[in-house]
């Protein structure tokens, strides 16, 4: 088990940079809008995001380990595309609510507690659909075909990759610029539209 944990950790450390690049398009615009000047406030976002990712890993490790060799690649790729579309829609709704705060629909969304859970949902959805290192880990899971082993392996992977998201805390020192919030809003909108298009394309292919 310790070997598996270390193996997952090694995969996480070696591919974490790539993992971060997959998370950045969602996390950076969100942080530009929501981050405040306190480090702990922003650390909370990142931890929630990481927790969402951890949940995604655990659920997938469980499902894939149970399925083992019965796992069907095509179905999985469709699930990934759908997850990408949902995360894109989430980003679009978020950007829309922030850009047009006076609209009735936006007031409803903005005042609800759903937006506060955004980092968790983003972490969860991105954890299972975009991150390429996750796909590498998945191959190992198919080989292991054991729920306990799979979870340990992915726990190591999660810890390894989690370190790479910490530099995002450096945004704390720039978010004081009000103009950046507006830029973050627009970026969130473009990112949402982009991943919606990519998700639909990959679903149709």
Q: Which positions lie near another protein, rule CB under 8 A?
A: 21-22, 24-25, 28-29, 99, 130, 179, 182-187, 189-191, 194, 197, 201, 204-205
- The least distance separating another protein from the CB of residue 118, rounded to whole angstroms, comes to 17
* Distance, CA of 97 to CA of 109 (rounded, Å): 7
- The least distance separating another protein from the CB of residue 141, rounded to whole angstroms, comes to 23
- The least distance separating another protein from the CB of residue 159, rounded to whole angstroms, comes to 22
**Quick one: 105 or 194, whose CB is closer to another protein?**
194
**Quick one: 100 or 105, whose CB is closer to another protein?**
100
**Quick one: 57 or 195, whose CB is closer to another protein?**
195
* Distance, CA of 42 to CA of 28 (rounded, Å): 12
**Quick one: 14 or 112, whose CB is closer to another protein?**
14
* Distance, CA of 97 to CA of 124 (rounded, Å): 21
Closest CA to 64 of 160, 168, 134, 15: 134
Q: How far from 51 is each of 5, 46, 55, 59, 158, CA to CA, in Å?
A: 18, 8, 6, 12, 10
- The least distance separating another protein from the CB of residue 23, rounded to whole angstroms, comes to 9
Asked if 19 contacts 135 with a C-beta cutoff of 8 angstroms, the reply is: no
Asked if 160 contacts 12 with a C-beta cutoff of 8 angstroms, the reply is: yes
- The least distance separating another protein from the CB of residue 93, rounded to whole angstroms, comes to 18
In the three-class reduction of DSSP (H, G, I as helix; E, B as strand; rest coil), residue 183 is classed as: helix
- The least distance separating another protein from the CB of residue 10, rounded to whole angstroms, comes to 21
How many Å separate Cα 90 from the centre of its chain? 12
**Quick one: 98 or 149, whose CB is closer to another protein?**
98
**Quick one: 11 or 130, whose CB is closer to another protein?**
130
* Distance, CA of 53 to CA of 8 (rounded, Å): 15
């Amino acid at each position: 088990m310790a070997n598996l944990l270390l193996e997952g950790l090694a995969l996480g450390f070696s591919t974490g940079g790539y993992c971060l690049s997959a998370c950045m398009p969602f996390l950076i615009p969100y942080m530009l809008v929501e981050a405040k000047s306190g480090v702990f406030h922003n650390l909370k976002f990142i931890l929630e995001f990481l927790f969402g990712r951890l949940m995604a890993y655990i659920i997938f490790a469980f499902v894939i380990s149970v399925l083992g060799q019965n796992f069907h690649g095509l179905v999985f790729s469709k699930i990934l595309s759908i997850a990408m579309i949902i995360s894109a829609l989430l980003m679009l709704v978020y950007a829309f609510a922030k850009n047009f705060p006076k609209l009735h629909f936006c007031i409803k969304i903005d005042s609800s507690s759903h937006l506060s859970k955004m980092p968790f949902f983003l972490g969860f959805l991105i954890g299972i659909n975009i991150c390429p290192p996750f796909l590498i880990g998945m191959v190992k899971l198919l080989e292991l075909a054991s729920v306990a082993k799979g979870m340990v392996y992915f726990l190591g992977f999660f810890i390894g990759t989690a370190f790479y998201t910490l530099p995002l805390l450096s945004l704390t020192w720039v978010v004081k610029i009000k103009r950046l919030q507006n830029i973050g809003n627009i970026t969130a909108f473009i990112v949402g539209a982009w991943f919606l298009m990519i998700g639909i394309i990959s679903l149709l292919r």
